C-alpha cells in the first residue's frame, strides 16, 4: 500500500492507518477535519450552504431524534457488540421525570425505553425480510476507507462490502417515497462518489438498504450512474469553497474571507388573491 498525506502534513502508511481507523476514537476524534475530510464534513460546504456556518459549527442542524434512531438500528444490525453496550434508561421517554438526572449520572448518551422498543420493532421487521438479509450475507461490515479524492485526503466507513465487491449502505427514513428526495438533501450522492472512488467500485455496485420508520416497509435503492456523476459535480463545488477559504489558510485569513461573503437576491412582489369580497 501507499502512504497518504493528511491535511496537517502527517504522512501515514495506508495499511497502518486503516487498522487504526477501526477504533471509533481514532476515526472520529483523531481524524477530525483538521486532518482529513469526509462526506459528513464536506457536505456542509455544498453551495449555497454557508461557509460561516461550517466554520463556526452553527446553522441548521439535523434531527437529533432521527440520528439516535438511525444509530440504534445501525448498531443492532451491523455492530451487535456495540449495541450490547448501549445504556437504556428505565424511563419510558426522554421527557420523563428523572431521565435527565439518570443521563447526567451515567455520564454518556442514554436511550429511553420507548426508543429501545421502537428499535426492536425496526430490527424485527428488517431481519425477517429474506431479501434484505440475503444482501447482508457474505459481507464485511464497517470497512474503513481512505485515499485521495481530487487531491484531498478523505476517510469513510462502508456499512457493508460483499465478497464480490458490492457496497451496501443501511439507512432509516420516514416514508420510502421520500427517500430519493432525501438522498439529495442529505448528500448521499456525494457519499456514493467518495466511497466508490476510495474503494474502486463502480456506481452500479452501490445500493442503499432502507427501512421506513413510519410503515416498516423495506426498500432497495441501487445507484444509477447519473446519481454518482451528480455527487461528483457537487463534491467539486464544495471542494472549491473549501480550497478557496479554508485549505492551508490561517484563522486570520479564513475570517477575512468569511467577512467578505455577501448574498444578493432580488425581491419581487407577491400578489395575494382571495375569494372573500369586501362589502
Classified as helix, coil or strand, 98 is: coil
What digits encode the pLDDT tens for the residues 26-55?
A: 999 999 999 999 999 999 999 999 999 999
What digits encode the pLDDT tens for the residues 204-248?
A: 999 999 999 999 999 999 999 999 999 999 999 999 999 999 999
Q: Report the alpha-carbon distance of residue 210 to residue 6 in Å, rounded.
A: 33
In the sheet that holds 206-212, the strands lie side by side as 139-149, 152-162, 167-173, 206-212, 218-222
Distances 45 to 20, 184, 241, 244, 246 between C-alpha atoms, Å: 28, 14, 7, 11, 11
The pTM score is: 0.91
What digits encode the pLDDT tens for the residues 137-173?
A: 999 999 999 999 999 999 999 999 999 999 999 999 9
* Greatest CA separation for the chain: 82
Classified as helix, coil or strand, 1 is: coil
Amino acid at each position: 500500500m501507499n502512504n497518504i498525506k493528511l491535511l496537517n502534513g502527517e504522512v501515514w502508511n495506508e495499511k497502518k492507518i486503516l487498522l487504526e481507523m477501526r477504533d471509533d476514537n481514532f476515526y472520529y476524534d483523531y481524524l477530525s477535519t483538521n486532518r482529513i475530510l469526509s462526506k459528513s464534513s464536506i457536505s456542509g460546504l455544498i453551495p449555497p450552504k454557508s461557509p460561516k456556518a461550517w466554520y463556526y459549527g452553527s446553522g441548521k442542524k439535523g434531527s437529533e431524534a432521527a440520528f439516535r434512531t438511525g444509530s440504534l438500528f445501525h448498531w443492532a444490525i451491523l455492530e451487535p457488540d456495540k449495541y450490547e453496550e448501549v445504556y437504556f434508561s428505565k424511563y419510558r421517554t426522554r421527557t420523563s421525570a428523572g431521565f435527565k438526572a439518570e443521563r447526567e449520572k451515567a455520564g454518556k448518551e442514554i436511550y429511553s425505553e420507548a426508543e429501545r422498543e421502537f428499535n426492536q420493532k425496526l430490527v424485527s421487521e428488517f431481519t425477517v425480510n429474506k431479501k434484505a438479509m440475503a444482501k447482508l450475507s457474505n459481507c464485511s461490515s464497517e470497512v474503513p476507507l481512505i485515499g485521495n479524492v481530487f487531491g484531498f485526503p478523505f476517510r469513510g466507513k462502508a456499512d457493508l462490502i460483499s465478497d464480490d465487491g458490492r457496497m451496501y449502505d443501511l439507512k432509516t427514513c420516514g416514508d420510502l417515497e421520500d427517500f430519493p428526495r432525501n438522498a439529495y438533501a442529505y448528500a448521499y450522492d456525494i457519499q456514493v462518489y467518495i466511497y466508490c472512488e476510495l474503494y474502486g467500485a463502480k456506481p452500479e455496485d452501490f445500493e442503499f438498504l432502507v427501512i421506513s420508520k413510519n410503515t416498516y416497509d423495506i426498500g432497495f435503492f441501487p445507484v444509477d450512474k447519473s446519481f454518482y456523476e451528480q455527487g461528483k459535480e457537487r463534491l467539486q463545488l464544495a471542494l472549491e469553497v473549501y480550497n478557496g477559504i479554508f485549505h492551508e489558510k490561517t484563522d486570520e485569513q479564513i475570517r477575512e474571507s468569511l467577512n467578505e461573503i455577501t448574498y444578493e437576491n432580488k425581491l419581487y412582489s407577491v400578489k395575494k388573491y382571495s375569494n372573500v369580497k369586501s362589502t
